[in-house]
Copies of this chain bind each other. A is one copy, B any other.
């Protein structure tokens, strides 16, 4: 049962009408971006892009040790989440991390930490 006026001096939680929740859309949006970053391979890609500026997809296969379709797949996921931006020049496609997108994720996490929204 809901602990409310128990011996512990804790505030009752989840009172019927407490609307202290973010809209589902916001939670879904942020969690989708976090999910895109929550894979070791993709986070490694982001780190390489952040360190090198603009990198073409073909130069990621070797350091990652992954096949070309797999690299393409991860870049697609990161682009869909807005974390990286692609820039197709001629035959090859350059990718760079969106510093703004990363900063936004960090900022929203920070706000979450303080219970604000």
Contacts and interface: CB of A to CB of B under 8 A. Distances in A.
Contacts of A79: none
Nearest to A38: B35
B105 A2 contact: no
Contact of A13 (B13, B43, B50, B56): B56
Contacts of A56: 2-3, 13
Copy tally for this chain in the complex stands at: 2
Binding site of A, secondary structure by majority: helix, strand, loop or mixed?
helix
Nearest to A60: B14
Given A40-B28, A110-B102, A2 B59 contact: yes
Given A11-B52, A113-B99, A38 B47 contact: no
